[in-house]
Amino acid sequence: MDGARLFAAEAALTGRWPHAGPEAVVCRIDGRRGRGPETLTYRELDDLIGRTALALGRAGIGAGTTTAVMVPPGRELVALIHALLRLRAVPVLIDPGLGPRAMRRCLAEAAPQAFIGVPLAHLARVLLGWARGSVRTTITVGPRTLRLARPPLPTSWPAPRSEGDGQAFVAFTSGSTGVPKGVPLRHRHLAGQLELLEHLGVLRPGATVWSTFLPFAIAAPVMGCASVVPRLNLRRPARSDPAAMAESIRAHRVTGLFAAPALLDGLARHCLERGLTLDGVRTVLTAGAPLPHAVLRRALRCLPEGAELLSVYGATECLLVSAANAAELTGTAEDTARGAGTFLGAPLPGNRVRVITVTDEPIPSWSDDLLVPPGTVGEITVTGPAVSDPYLGRPYDTALARIDDGGTPVHRMGDLGWMDERGRLWFAGRKGERVRTADGDLYTDQVEPVVNDLPGVRRTALVGVGPEGRHRPVLCVECEPGVSGRERRAVLARVREHAPAAVAEVLAHPGFPMDVRHASKIRRPLLARWAARELGEAGR
């Protein structure tokens, strides 16, 4: 699917999927503030997108206009994103959970020419000086704002340009560093992502998709899928209510589910506690972090027989890279429990995955001397159709993340892993989270899964205490809820017995500090400082 085909699909949603028909529901929106759920048919969505595009165009937004969008999930957000794409404008999407300082920095780097938001977003923009030097057009979105004007629609839209290389999106990602970075995506990158999704063959036209990743939910109609825009805690997704998630999935008769492992785990625990089965769900995609085997087992128990579950590996800078199904993950569970790491699957067609020597320094140009032998842990790199442009306004971050291979960008994932003899990829841990001891490096995903399945263990986290290069490896343990003090001591004893010999200390923690915006990410620096205090090494 090239860029022209992508936008032909977007600009003609009604005729793109003749199997559905113009009156078929293409978007289901969970209600907010006491309102019931809303639905949009293909005809209604096409009409709403068209009228929104006309209104935006009259306000001066057109091809190439970078436009910050700060609107909560709902019909307005769906219409705005599709309308901006139809106009060939460039939406700028920033995590709403970021603090004011980070938000200001992101908007300064993106330098949006237009700002579309709810009244509160505009108030923050004015008071905090967000994008003060770049914004020329402002549009306020309030209750029913996009439903008022009903000018006549054109009978046809301009034919998409044959090239698909214009800028399409800017998405901000923090990755493991906690520093938001602007990722520019061109039309060909979006088209490459859709091609990779189509290759997986799991989100077939006609499916109803429920996604905690809002851009994915908004894009689903282009693939011929009806999407559910769920009611989520945008500032703290990790605290989203699993009961509300289960109710929404069942009420909308969802067939395809997309969720991060931690959110999937919360949903599965809720369903198992109440004896619920997610009837009708045929496909589950999970991404954002490796899928623990305990979560896999819980998720499968609340899915109907024959449902397919895929763990997808990738990043905003290159989505998607590889995928592993439930059978493959189950078949590699024993290897994971012995310290091999977490199985990520074979690279998807079009992606070239290579593993290189670990270094924290920039690598300007590619050399085959960088490669490590199969079976050796190194940094994962990817070349493929979805690899994005350089970060906005961050040349040093770009230098750390990119290698030039004769004009082709090679993206350094910041993840450590290895390739087996069958060309399949395994995950060992984040590069920035490796524990650097005097006897060599330890990798989180080659240590934690060894004990994560022990009775009473909810999760563990390997951290290093002390100076880099002489880290003292400490394994922090969070027990399952409701475990008594006596049971906790028994859990710690089991962990000490089964943990790799290199682990120096095992400590019980009452509840890991988690990134409230990324439910699967443990805030390891905070955990390391806590462990240092517990061991009396703080400040040394």
CA 164/CA 148 separation, integer angstroms: 34
pLDDT of residue 515: 74
Answer whether residue 430 shows pLDDT above 90: yes
Phi, then psi, of 301 in degrees rounded to 5: -70, -25
Lowest mean pLDDT among 89-103, 426-440, 464-478, 479-493: 89-103
Q: Give me the amino acid identity at 70.
A: M
Q: Which of 184, 212, 239 is the last residue of a domain?
A: 184
Same domain flag for 442 and 424: no
Partners of 315 in beta bridges: 318
- What is the secondary structure of 314-378 as a DSSP string? EETTEEEEEEEEHHHHHHTHHHHHTT--EEEEEEPTT-EEEEE---SS---B--GGGBPPTT--E
CA 379/CA 354 separation, integer angstroms: 8
Domain that holds residue 117: 1-184
Which residue matches tokens 């990520």? 344
Count of domains forming the chain? 3
Q: Two tokens at 119?
A: 């009244």
- What is the secondary structure of 99-139 as a DSSP string? -HHHHHHHHHHH--SEEEE-HHHHHHHHHHTTTTTT--EEE
Q: How far does Cα 480 stand from its chain's mean position?
A: 26
pLDDT of residue 14: 42
Q: How far does Cα 336 stand from its chain's mean position?
A: 23
Same domain flag for 523 and 381: no
CA 300/CA 326 separation, integer angstroms: 9
CA 382/CA 385 separation, integer angstroms: 10
Same domain flag for 390 and 515: no
Residue 426 within a domain: yes
CB 319 within 8 A of CB 193: yes
pLDDT of residue 518: 59
Same domain flag for 395 and 448: no
Same domain flag for 32 and 110: yes
Same domain flag for 474 and 490: yes
Answer whether residue 150 shows pLDDT above 70: no
Same domain flag for 417 and 499: no
Q: Two tokens at 352?
A: 């070239």
CATH number for the domain spanning 34: value is 3.40.50.12780
CA 278/CA 247 separation, integer angstroms: 10
Q: Two tokens at 238?
A: 């990790």
Same domain flag for 489 and 382: no
Residue 324 within a domain: no
Q: Two tokens at 13?
A: 């949603």
Banded pLDDT at 329 (limits 50, 70, 90): very high
CATH number for the domain spanning 406: value is 2.30.38.10
Same domain flag for 394 and 452: no
pLDDT of residue 229: 83
Residue 223 within a domain: no
Task: Tell me: cis bond preceding 196? Omega within 30 of 0 counts.
Answer: no
Q: Two tokens at 193?
A: 């992502």
Banded pLDDT at 5 (limits 50, 70, 90): very low
Phi, then psi, of 47 in degrees rounded to 5: -65, -45
pLDDT digits (tens, 9 = 90+) for 363-412: 999 999 999 999 999 999 999 999 999 999 899 999 999 999 999 999 99
Angle, helices 187-200 vs 3-11, to 10°: value is: 80
Q: What is the SS3 assignment for 473-511?
A: EEEEEEECCCCCHHHHHHHHHHHHHHCCCCCCEEEECCC
Q: Give me the amino acid identity at 167.
A: Q
Same domain flag for 387 and 511: no
CA 187/CA 331 separation, integer angstroms: 38
pLDDT of residue 319: 85
Which residue matches tokens 């009806």? 226
pLDDT of residue 157: 42
Answer whether residue 155 shows pLDDT above 60: no
Residue 516 within a domain: yes
Q: Which residue has the higher pLDDT, 515 or 67?
A: 67
Residue 311 within a domain: no
Banded pLDDT at 538 (limits 50, 70, 90): low
CA 257/CA 263 separation, integer angstroms: 11
CB 289 within 8 A of CB 316: no
Residue 236 within a domain: no
When the pLDDT of each residue in the chain is averaged and rounded to a whole number, the result is: 86
pLDDT digits (tens, 9 = 90+) for 160-196: 343 456 888 898 876 555 678 999 998 888 888 888 8
pLDDT of residue 149: 36
Which CA distances in Å does 400 have to 359, 364, 448, 524?
10, 9, 27, 22
Q: Which residues contact 316 (CB under 8 A, 6 or more apart)?
A: 171, 173, 183, 388
Q: Which of 144, 161, 184 is the last residue of a domain?
A: 184
Q: Which residue has the higher pLDDT, 273 or 17?
A: 273
Banded pLDDT at 122 (limits 50, 70, 90): very high
Q: Which residue has the higher pLDDT, 347 or 144?
A: 347
Q: Which of 433, 463, 490 is the last residue of a domain?
A: 433
From 413, 416, 424, select the one nearest 381 (Cα to Cα): 413
CB 448 within 8 A of CB 462: yes
Average pLDDT (337-349) is: 96
Residue 329 within a domain: no
Answer whether residue 142 shows pLDDT above 80: no
CA 292/CA 332 separation, integer angstroms: 12
Q: Which residue has the higher pLDDT, 257 or 160?
A: 257
Same domain flag for 131 and 80: yes
Average pLDDT (53-74) is: 92
Phi, then psi, of 390 in degrees rounded to 5: -60, 155
Same domain flag for 453 and 424: no
CA 316/CA 94 separation, integer angstroms: 12
Residue 299 within a domain: no
pLDDT of residue 307: 93
∠ CA 201-7-146, rounded to 5°:
110
